Structures are given as structure tokens and as C-alpha cells.
Structure 1
Amino acid sequence: MKPNLKQWLSVLCLGMTGVSATAWADVGTPVDCGTVECEAIREMRSIYAAEYGYFATYDVFTLNLASAGFAPAACPNGSRAPVPGAGWVSGCNFSYKVTGITPHPSPGFTAVAQGVAGTASAGITLQIGTHPVSGRLFWLERQGVRRYVDSAECQSPQSFTCEAQLREARLNMGYIHVVEQSYFAERDQYSTNLPLIGFVPEGCSNGTRAAVPDASWVAGCRFIYKVTLNGTTGFTATAKAVTGATEGSILTITESGRTVITPSYPAWCQ
């Protein structure tokens, strides 16, 4: 793997351990952070970050969650869900397992979380993994009803404001700055080809991406991204919201790291 891509992946994983770098399909109301589903949602996000951290180091994904550094929390009383079999790791109400990995040239992985019969988590299954279009696919199924998991679930109600929806662009613009500077250090020039230098933003959790007007743009979920060069020693990266409550908002960042945000949404959505 190219050094600059590994550097971008390491930054990506650091972002995921805090606020999710990813922007997913909108939902209307906050999800109660105290529900049993949220335990699994948070841990599945941790698995995704752990797998990409492992990939950044070894250039492969792993079936061994412990080797990736994933250690789900036990219940407050120290108990854990029973382990269904080999390869599973248990937290409080769920057990987790990486069920499959694929090697290069299209590396990927799939992980599942399984609830425990006779408990509040019974009948709940989650799956997260890589996706060829959006980068990540994440769904939850309860009693036979399946839905995609939104990026704001199991976070604070403030995650549903327009300002919070800019998170996708804020984080991705930071990643663009990292990979552009890395590319410049190697080649003494910046690039307008974002995929070439290692920037491929994730799409929505349902496997879709935003529409782009032409090939110079790269699509995320709510935002599309583009880089223009300012002579031979500068660049401006632009992120434009094309869907959701923030549609029309524009963010830019230059080689110096200066960021400008031009919001386009009503004041009540602050």
C-alpha cells in the first residue's frame, strides 16, 4: 500500500474512534442512546475502525478481532453474553464476529453482531462491512425487520442539527489536506485526482452516493468533493452539499489549512 494511503487510513480510523467520519442516510428523530441496540451499534463502529487500523498496518483485514484490538465492554456487573462458538467475541448483550474477508485486489470484510436468546437483545442482528459503491454498508435487523443504521444513531440529539450534518465534509476536508500534503512531499506537486492520491470518501450506509455533475468531482453521501490547483504550490479543495438539510452549503480548504464554510440552511437548524 502507498505510504500516503496508509497515512490517510490511520487518520480515518482516528476520526472514527470519536465522531463518526462517515455521513449516512438521514433519519427524523434521535435514537435513545440507552437502548440495547445502541450497545451493538457503537461496538460495530469500533470493529470497523479496528479493522481499518489493522489494514493500515498490515495491508489486509483480519478474522481475529483481538489482533485488531477490538475488546467490547462487559456489563456493569462484569458478566458477558455467552460465546456462540469459535471466532466470536462477547460484550454485554451481544457477541461479535468477522464472518468473511476478501484479499486484494478488492480487499474487504464483513462483521456481524448477534443478540442473546432470552434477553433484551434476542432477535437482533447487525452487519457492517465494506461496500464497493459507498465504502461501508451497515444494517440492523430486529424480529425480521431490517433497516440501515444512520450515522447519528446512538449519539446526542445535537447530531441531528444542520451544523452536525456538516461533519461529513469537515472530516473529509481534513483527510484531503492530509493526502494532498503527503502527495506534495513525495512528488513536489499537488493533484486534482483525489482517488489517485488515496481519497475515496464513504457513501451512505444504504450503498448509495451523491450524484456528481462531472468526472472532476468525487462523491460522498451528502457531499461531493473537488480540488483545483492554485499555480504549482497551492490548491483549493471544495465540498458541496447536494442533498439533505444542508443542501447548497459549501466548504473549502487550502494548502495552508485555511477553511471557509458557507452554510445554506435556515437559522433554526443551527
Structure 2
Amino acid sequence: MRSLSSWSTCLVPALVVLGGCERQEERPAPTRSAPAPVKASTPAPIAPSQSTTEQELRERLRCEALLGLSGLLAGQQEYFGEKDAWTADVTRLPTPAACTDGSRVPTPPDEAWLAGCHFRYAVSVAGSTPNDSTFSVRAVGVGGLAEGLTYTLTHGYSDGKTVRVWPSELVLEDCHGVRRPEGTPLPAPLCEGASNLKALFTAEKSYCGEKDRYSESAAQVGFLPEPCLDGSRAPVPDDTWTAGCRFIYRAEVSGTAPEQTFLLTALGVSGAVVDRKLTLDSQYAWSPADPGCAP
């Protein structure tokens, strides 16, 4: 029988944060509510924040399409995690944001579309097995400067390997800053590192709850951050690091089980976060302070 002292190192200090190193109970499956009724109307003109140039308006449209496609990508990934399949049923996917006045583009009455502010979105699925199926989302601009703009995202698996084709015109970095597209503003670039550190922290605690120890292997604890929207990942200096989009991540474990601690590091390697470093330890102490980003 394990002594009380052998449990105490991994369990007691962590009780203050996320329940320590106890076994994690499965979370109940999220409930899905029916999407709000679509209010069809002529697309509202885009109100630029600082400029009225056509270039500025087109940039805002590209960012709106980027947010719409990335939201549907996230929705499909969540559905796949539950069902091991992609869905062509648009009612099971998140509805893109409306214009600020609540209006949306009209959609054809005889086809299944999701209506956003200046774009409507169609979803299709190819293949039937989890390891050999993909989905595509087509964003079609309606009215004004959006008319004629079309962007297509494809994601899924082919022979068990991840496939992602992202529209090259839709660049994430272009959508940070003062120009905010319709919908929820993008989080600050630093939030990629902070949110993934929180996910790695949770993965370490869950692993310790099962194995009574921590691990420096991201694969072993089940941590794999999302790549960039185009599927690319940051370069890593060696196999102790795990690549996300702009950040790379590492776990360092000290001590001998069950008396162990860990230090997690996120290091920015590209774009606006180059050389930015965040750390989070097993007592949930941040350095610098917790940026406050959502998990």
C-alpha cells in the first residue's frame, strides 16, 4: 500500500490550483443549442475604424472570412472529437458572426448555407472513415466589395495523415491590430503561448493523476498544440520541444516520483512574439504574470 507521504508531494501542493494530481473525471459532453434564426438582408457596408480606402475595406473583408473559416474549422474539430467523423450538417456547426446591426447576407432557399455578415458558407464532406476523410468549407462573398470573393478551406485525413489546405490570401497576422473584422476580435498573439501552457499544465496534472509522476514527453501526456491556420508549425531546435504555430513548448521535470515538480516554457519564435518567453510551474506560478488569456 502506498504511504500517505508518497501521495502528498504530487497531490497536496496542487490542490490550490487545478485539483492537484488526482484522477480527472470525464467532463460531460457539451450540449448544442439550435442556431439563432438567420436574419437575411442586404449586406451592411463596412464601417472602417480609421480609413475609408478600398484597400482597408478589402482587408477587413479578408479578416471576416478568416474568422468565419477558422470558427468552422474549430467547430468541425470539436464534432470530430465526439463522433470520429466530419459533418455536412450546418446546424451542428457554429454560426458565423452577423454584422454589427444584426443583419446577415441572404442564402439560397434550396441549399444548406451558413450566413455571416458579408459571406455565406457551404460545407461538404468527402470520404467515410475517420483516417481517410476530409471536409471543405467554401466562403462566398455577397454584395458590394465582397461580391466575387471566394475562399475555400479543406481539412481532414488522408491515409491517416493530416491534410490542410488554407487560402493563402487569408493571413492571420494581417488581422491583428486596429482593423477589426465583423465578429469576435482576435486574441493577442501572446495568447497562443499562454493558452497552450494552460493546456499543457492540465495535461501534466491529468497524467500524474494516472501514473503518479510527471513527464517531459508532450506525446506521453497527450499535448499537441494547434498548428498555424495553413497547417505549418514553428521550427524546433531539438526533440525536447513541441511546435505550435508561433510558439514552441517544453516541460522540464525535477525530482524523483512521487516527489516531483515541473516547469513549462513557451518560447515565441516568429512574428510579433519572437523571443517572448512565458513559464508556468507545477504550483501554477507564472513568469511574467498570467496574461489572462482564455484557455
TM-score normalised by the chain length of structure 2: 0.63
Correspondence 1:56 to 2:78: no
Q: Aligned to 1:166, which of 184, 190, 194?
A: 190
> Where does residue 37 of structure 2 map in the other structure?
none
Gaps of 5+ in 2: 1-22, 31-55, 181-186, 290-295
Correspondence 1:186 to 2:228: no
> Where does residue 123 of structure 1 map in the other structure?
148
> Where does residue 16 of structure 2 map in the other structure?
none
Alignment map for 1:43-82 (pairs within 5 Å)? 43-70=68-95, 73=98, 76=101, 78=103, 80-82=105-107
Correspondence 1:247 to 2:274: yes
- Give the Å deviation of 1:181: 1.5
Structure 2 residue identity aligned to 1:191: S
Q: Hey, what's the Cα distance between the residues in 2 that align with 1:91 and 1:239?
A: 35
Q: Hey, what's the Cα distance between the residues in 1 that align with 2:87 and 2:271?
A: 35
Q: Hey, what's the Cα distance between the residues in 2 that align with 1:248 and 1:52?
A: 30
- Give the Å deviation of 1:107: 6.3
Gaps of 5+ in 1: 11-30, 140-145, 263-270
Structure 1 residue identity aligned to 2:204: E
> Where does residue 238 of structure 1 map in the other structure?
265
Q: Aligned to 1:148, which of 170, 175, 179?
A: 170
Structure 2 residue identity aligned to 1:210: A
Q: Indicate the structure (1 or 2) with the bigger Cα radius of gyration.
A: 2
> Where does residue 88 of structure 1 map in the other structure?
113
Q: Hey, what's the Cα distance between the residues in 1 that align with 2:132 and 2:249?
A: 23
Summarize the Cα distance change of 1:137–1:166 in structure 2 as closer, same or farther, 3 Å threshold.
Answer: farther
Q: Aligned to 2:200, which of 169, 176, 179?
A: 176
Alignment map for 1:252-263 (pairs within 5 Å)? 252-261=279-288
The root-mean-square deviation of aligned C-alpha atoms, in Å, is 3.8
TM-score normalised by the chain length of structure 1: 0.68
> Where does residue 130 of structure 2 map in the other structure?
104
Most deviating of 176-185 and 70-79: 70-79
Structure 2 counterpart SS, 1:148: coil
> Where does residue 64 of structure 2 map in the other structure?
39
Q: Hey, what's the Cα distance between the residues in 1 that align with 2:210 and 2:149?
A: 48
Does structure 2 conserve the Cα–Cα contact (< 8 Å) formed by 1:209 and 1:221?
A: yes
Summarize the Cα distance change of 1:191–1:51 in structure 2 as closer, same or farther, 3 Å threshold.
Answer: same
Summarize the Cα distance change of 1:175–1:108 in structure 2 as closer, same or farther, 3 Å threshold.
Answer: farther
Structure 2 residue identity aligned to 1:165: P
Q: Hey, what's the Cα distance between the residues in 2 that align with 1:120 and 1:180?
A: 48
